[in-house]
Amino acid sequence: MATGFLFPGQGSQEPGMGRELFEQQPQAAEILDRACSVLDFDIRGMMFDGPAETMSDTQYAQPIIYTCSAMYLEKARSMGISYDYVAGHSLGEYSALYSAGVFSFEDGLALVRQRGLAMSRQNGKGTMAAVMGLTEDELAPELADIPDVVMANLNTPRQIVISGSMEGMEIAGKKLEGREGVIFKRLAVSAAFHSPQMMEAADIMTPLLEKTEFKTPSCHVVSNVTGMPTKDPGEIRSNLIAQITGQVRWFDSIMNMTAAGVDGFYEIGNGRTLRGMNRRIDGAAKCESL
Would you name the residues annotated as active-site residues? 90, 194
Residues written for the chain: 290
Rounded CA separation 6/279 (Å):
14
User: Among 90, 181, 167, which Cα is nearest to 139's?
Assistant: 181
Rounded CA separation 123/172 (Å):
20
The whole-angstrom distance between residue 59's C-alpha and the CA centroid of its chain comes to 14
Contact 268, 76 (CB under 8 A): yes
Measured CA to CA in angstroms, residue 46 lies from 50, 59, 66, 164, 270 at distances of 4, 12, 14, 29, 15
Measured CA to CA in angstroms, residue 176 lies from 132, 155, 192 at distances of 10, 18, 18
**Can you state the percent helix, strand and coil of the chain, rounding each to 5?**
50, 20, 35
Measured CA to CA in angstroms, residue 102 lies from 32, 105, 152, 185, 251 at distances of 20, 10, 25, 36, 24
User: Among 128, 2, 117, which Cα is nearest to 60's?
Assistant: 117
Q: Which helix (H) or strand (E) holds 238?
A: helix 233-243
Pairing verdict, β 262-267 and 287-289? parallel
